[in-house]
């Protein structure tokens, strides 16, 4: 889910490969030109963000970035990120033109899980950060010869950004900003310019991390959870050589996405992190204190929350998970009596 700041139009991606948008007056439109996706399991269409600096009170042309699961050979697949010009001719239709793939997970592997493929730009707009999940393969997250289980830092055209910590190791190591990640579902900068991620642990151990240049977050050598078969994993206290999470959750919250709040409608929340949660469904509110963090509140919802965003006026938009008759809704949250 992404909101065009100039017009307030909300864009929603659906796993099977459809993008729809909602006008402020409630009218719904569709986006054509979406790439073919490898749908199945956790795979399909992923994130959608606008290039920095492009605004206006009329939605006619925007540069956009999107991610998706892309098929490979011999039953393999991996995340891909593309850049396109979105042209909107009326209130019912937009079209992605000149779509170009600028990055691919390396390597493509079997399976249909842990793509991550979240996208965010640095506050100055110079760098594109991409979350690249471990694809449920574990060990590659500790291997700098691939980009599984990493966060990569690129220029907006998809080339490795200058100053990346492992540039001397060649490609694709020159893309990597941090590693030892599992399955990142939220990737955002706070108002101090610090990058944070929220990621799924195994059986327990969901994490909120302050992402640092060159840091190794330990997966699968360290986790505050355990393997699904019950086998233990050393926790971060036992493995101090790895970066420790700011918060870990056990029982899990199953994060879907997150946003740093900066509006007036919920003024007491300014600077705090709102995490979309799927187990149990709701919103988890977290206070950031320099490099550390603490959970301050939870707000339960009827269904699992997959995505969360803030509108220009401070309202909070959430997108439910699911496809049942009472699921998959786009909801606007405001204070009582507003």
- HSE-up of 22 (CA within 13 Å, CB side)? 15
Number of domains in the chain: 2
Same domain? For 305 and 164 the reply is: no
Q: Are both 233 and 273 inside the same structural domain?
A: no
Residue 90: per-residue pLDDT: 82
pLDDT tens per residue across span 105-154: 999 999 999 999 999 999 999 999 999 999 999 999 999 999 999 999 99
- pLDDT confidence tier of residue 252, bands split at 50, 70 and 90: very high
The last residue of one of the domains, among 222, 250, 278, is 250
Residue 144 and residue 159 in contact, taking contact as beta carbons nearer than 8 Å: no
The CATH number of the domain holding residue 60 is: 2.120.10.30
User: Which of 220, 250, 280 is at the close of a domain?
Assistant: 250
CB within 8 Å of 209: residues ≥ 6 apart: 181, 196, 197, 198, 199, 217, 243, 245, 246
Residues with a known catalytic role: 114
Angle ∠(155,289,48) on CA atoms, nearest 5: 35
| Bridge-based pairing state of the strands 93-104 and 28-32 | parallel
Is the per-residue pLDDT at 338 higher than 80? no
Kindly state whether residues 224 and 335 are assigned to the same domain.
Answer: no
**Range of 45's domain?**
2-250
DSSP-based three-state secondary structure for 268: helix
Residue 308: name the closest of 268, 338, 266 by CA: 266
End-to-end CA separation in angstroms for the chain: 24
Are 161 and 292 within one domain?
A: no
Domain boundary among 201, 230, 250: 250
> Contact at 8 Å (CB) between 233 and 225?
yes
284 and 209 together in one domain:
no
Percent of the chain having pLDDT more than 70? 100
Whether residue 118 sits in one domain with residue 21 = yes
Tokens of 257: 């996405």
Q: Are residues 259 and 164 in the same domain?
A: no
Query: 251 with 324: CB under 8 angstroms?
Result: no
Q: Are residues 292 and 243 in the same domain?
A: no
Are 306 and 160 part of one and the same domain?
no
Residue 309 half-sphere exposure, CB side, CA atoms within 13 Å?
20
Q: Does 137 lie in the same domain as 244?
A: yes
What's the average model confidence in pLDDT over 158-164? 98
Q: What single-letter DSSP state applies at residue 148?
A: T
Q: What is the pTM of this model?
A: 0.97
* 338 shares a domain with 245: no
194 and 270: one domain?
no
> pLDDT digits over 27-77, tens only?
999 999 999 999 999 999 999 999 999 888 889 999 999 999 999 999 999
């Amino acid at each position: 889910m992404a909101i065009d700041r100039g017009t307030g139009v909300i864009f929603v991606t659906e796993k099977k490969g459809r993008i729809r948008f909602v006008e402020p007056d409630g009218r719904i439109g569709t986006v054509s030109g979406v790439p073919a996706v490898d749908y199945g399991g956790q795979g399909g269409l992923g994130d959608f963000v606008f290039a920095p600096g492009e605004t206006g009170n009329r939605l006619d042309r925007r540069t956009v970035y999107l991610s998706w699961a892309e098929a490979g050979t011999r039953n393999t697949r991996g995340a891909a990120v593309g850049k396109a010009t979105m042209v909107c001719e009326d209130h019912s239709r937009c079209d992605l033109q000149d779509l170009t793939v600028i990055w691919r997970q390396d390597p493509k592997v079997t399976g249909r899980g842990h793509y991550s493929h979240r996208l965010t730009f640095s506050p100055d707009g110079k760098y594109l950060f991409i979350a690249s999940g471990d694809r449920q393969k574990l060990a590659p997250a500790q291997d700098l010869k691939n980009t599984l289980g990493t966060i990569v830092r690129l220029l907006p055209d998809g080339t490795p950004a200058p100053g990346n910590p492992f540039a001397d190791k060649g490609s694709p190591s020159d893309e990597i900003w941090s590693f030892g990640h599992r399955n990142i579902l939220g990737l955002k900068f706070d108002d101090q310019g610090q990058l944070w991620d929220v990621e799924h642990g195994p059986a327990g151990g969901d994490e909120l991390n302050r992402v640092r240049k060159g840091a190794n977050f330990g997966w699968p050598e360290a986790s505050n959870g355990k393997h699904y078969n019950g086998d233990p994993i050393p926790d971060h206290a036992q493995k101090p050589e790895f970066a420790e999470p700011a918060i870990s959750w056990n029982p899990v919250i199953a994060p879907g996405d997150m946003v740093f709040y900066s509006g007036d409608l919920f003024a007491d929340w300014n600077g705090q992190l709102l995490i979309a949660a799927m187990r149990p469904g709701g919103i988890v509110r977290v206070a950031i204190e320099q490099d550390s963090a603490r959970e301050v509140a939870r707000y339960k919802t009827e269904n699992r929350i997959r995505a969360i965003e803030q509108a220009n006026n401070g309202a909070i938009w959430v997108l439910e998970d699911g496809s049942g008759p009472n699921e998959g809704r786009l909801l606007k949250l405001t204070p009582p009596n507003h």
